[in-house]
Structure 1
């Protein structure tokens, strides 16, 4: 199975890239536990091709680097996408990259949605911006998206890791053509999320 990871973090190191790597590791581990085929992982760092994306939007001609990134994403069996949240929405670079893809190039492709931000209040970006975007692109998002706020990277890593493992297992199952394993969903009331509870 070919797994492509698209990460739109701008800094180095980046919490967006960290989340993307952990989601990929969880997916690979879930696939291995299910004794499915080996998983090869390719990472597309959008910050490295930001100028190429902009030039393509202006001219309609992809550079070799952008063409390679598009080929990696379109040719993958499954996709992990992670964006930082800026001004209550996904990053412009993230959206611009998916704007240059052909409208049907992700049709039916399993995709795991992820986002990072400074506060838990932006977690709805997964359901109100990313799902509609990938629905329009005819992709097949897994049920569990993963949002990581700044507070998740310290004492909250236990809850974050459980969400990562659940989402990775769903992506591995969907990519292998198996129904995702059922289990009790982890529900944390929104007021507890805002208070930093639920870890």
Structure 2
């Protein structure tokens, strides 16, 4: 059964170094997996920002956000990449994973990565991202990948390539060892109109 690898990129700019790192990590993991047919999907949270904000207020995900959450929670391996904002992951990144059910990623192998302007922010991987996915009971690979601006130049690319390769091997090993998710047929779930839900709630309180 074909394995699925999902990379979540929370970059806001275009082009985005966060998306570039997500693509690079996904390609490396795909290269190291034992299944050459491993599917790779990259989710850019920038494109889902409006639906994420609306979901935080209403509690109802839009269709694209629902598909993204389903892809993440059904993945055999996850790559999570965020830009560093004010010494931590971005609000968009956190808001997306706040929507994901706290039990849905239990046991899922995860590679964490971040981008920033300077290497001094690299500890965000250990003091913010690793605790987040540990709370979600994911299996976070030992090697986390941080890419500062200087890492994209000719002088730092070799060091970055080494970190990418090591982390990719670790995630690929966990993905290969994990049983693939069975294909679950789509089931039509009836949607109860919000007004009808409110009416039923009012009756129950009488």
2:175 equivalent in structure 1 = 175
Structure 2: gaps (5+ residues): 179-206
User: How far did residue 39 of structure 1 move?
Assistant: 1.0
1:18 equivalent in structure 2 = 20
| Cα distance in 2 for residues equivalent to 1:113 and 1:62 | 25
| Cα distance in 2 for residues equivalent to 1:64 and 1:158 | 40
SS of the residue aligned with 1:66?
A: helix
| Cα distance in 1 for residues equivalent to 2:80 and 2:43 | 10
2:58 equivalent in structure 1 = 59
SS of the residue aligned with 1:82?
A: strand
TM-score between both structures, scaled by the size of structure 2: 0.83
User: How far did residue 37 of structure 1 move?
Assistant: 5.4
1:193 equivalent in structure 2 = none
How many equivalent pairs are there?
Answer: 175
| Cα distance in 2 for residues equivalent to 1:38 and 1:136 | 31
| Cα distance in 1 for residues equivalent to 2:68 and 2:156 | 33
| Cα distance in 2 for residues equivalent to 1:101 and 1:39 | 23
TM-score between both structures, scaled by the size of structure 1: 0.86
Task: Answer with 1 or 2: which has the greater Rg.
Answer: 2
RMSD: 1.0
Would you identify which runs of 4 or more consecutive aligned residues in structure 1 move more than 2 Å? 35-38
Whether 1:142 and 2:141 are equivalent positions in the alignment is: yes
| Cα distance in 1 for residues equivalent to 2:30 and 2:176 | 12
| Cα distance in 1 for residues equivalent to 2:101 and 2:58 | 15
User: How far did residue 176 of structure 1 move?
Assistant: 1.1
1:85 equivalent in structure 2 = 84
